[in-house]
Amino acid sequence: MHAASASNPFSELIRYRQLLASLIWRDLRVRYKQSLLGMAWAVLLPMSMMLIFTFVFTRAVKVVGGLDITMPYPLFAYTGLVPWTFFSASLLGSVNSLVANRNLVTKVYFPREVFPFSSIGSAFADFFIAGSVLVGLIGYFHYGTRWTFVPTTALAFVPVIVLVQAVFTAGLGMLLAMANLFYRDVRQLLGVAIQLWMFLTCVVYPIKNDGSWWGIVAVCNPMTPIIKAYRQCILEGTIPAGGAFVSACVTAACTFVIGWWAFRKMSHKFAECI
């Protein structure tokens, strides 16, 4: 690694931005190659999960009335599932990104961060498509039910939330990609951990800190205020207030710095571990 590039990793990554864009495009083509529905799967996955949880919580067990939700439950669920799908798809792609690109890692020099970053970039494309469907859902419930949507300036804060989530995801993605290179069990463990993590986050139901271990873990989970912030800005018309979102921002920044530092420090060992 050149001394200049090691001291200025951001400028090095910018120099290889075309490679990053090519890898993102490649991931998207591979994912939807020979797929009948193509990128419609970006919408079908969160939409199907929304329908399942809506049936479970409103028909099967009928607990929505006791969950302190002030909006139609399908909107509540979808607004949580879309960013969560972005988060989980990014991590599941990042964790295997180095191993899956072993030929490039061992033969050509460029910043290895482009691999986990490309996984996040391709997942963001799905996030953007699925998020656009939310506009239609809001219109349906605004005109078809008693619930009313009032657009406010808080919508302008949504890109900040996306940035915080992307920074947090990128930091974790680099750590997981590196860990999976040394211990291949990490990929399998992550699949289980992601499922458990979702239920410790306010994705499909609100979580309050009631003093129980469940509530404490959920509140300490940085994805909880991030998911909650999406709902606050889009559906409630308020900008996230209080220390929870600020704490998530700090956690995201620290995770990114630690992840990138460790990733670059160990990058010289990647080729021999593959």
Phi, psi of 161 (to 5 degrees): -65, -45
- Render the burial of 249-269: b for 16+ CB within 10 Å, e for the rest: bebbeebbeebbeebbebbee
pLDDT in tens, 214-270: 667 777 899 999 999 999 999 999 999 878 899 999 999 999 999 999 998 888 777
Q: From the centroid of its chain, how far is CA 215?
A: 22
Q: In the numeric block, which tokens belong to residue 132?
A: 């656009």
Query: In whole angstroms, what is the distance from residue 162 CA to residue 127 CA?
Result: 10
Domain extent for 235: 3-273
pLDDT at site 8 = 66
Residue 4 has pLDDT above 50, yes or no: no
pLDDT in tens, 122-177: 999 999 999 999 999 999 999 988 899 999 999 999 999 999 999 999 999 999 99
Mean pLDDT of all residues in 39-51: 85
Residue 3 has pLDDT above 70, yes or no: no
Residue 205 has pLDDT above 70, yes or no: yes
pLDDT in tens, 172-194: 999 999 999 888 889 999 999 99
pLDDT at site 251 = 96
pLDDT in tens, 95-107: 999 888 888 877 7
Mean pLDDT of all residues in 64-74: 73
Mean pLDDT of all residues in 107-112: 79
Q: Which of 78, 70, 118, 68 minimizes the C-alpha distance to 97?
A: 118
- Contacts for 69 with CB less than 8 Å, ≥ 6 apart: 76, 206
Q: Which of 269, 209, 267, 210 minimizes the C-alpha distance to 243?
A: 209
Q: From the centroid of its chain, how far is CA 270?
A: 25
Domain count, the chain: 1
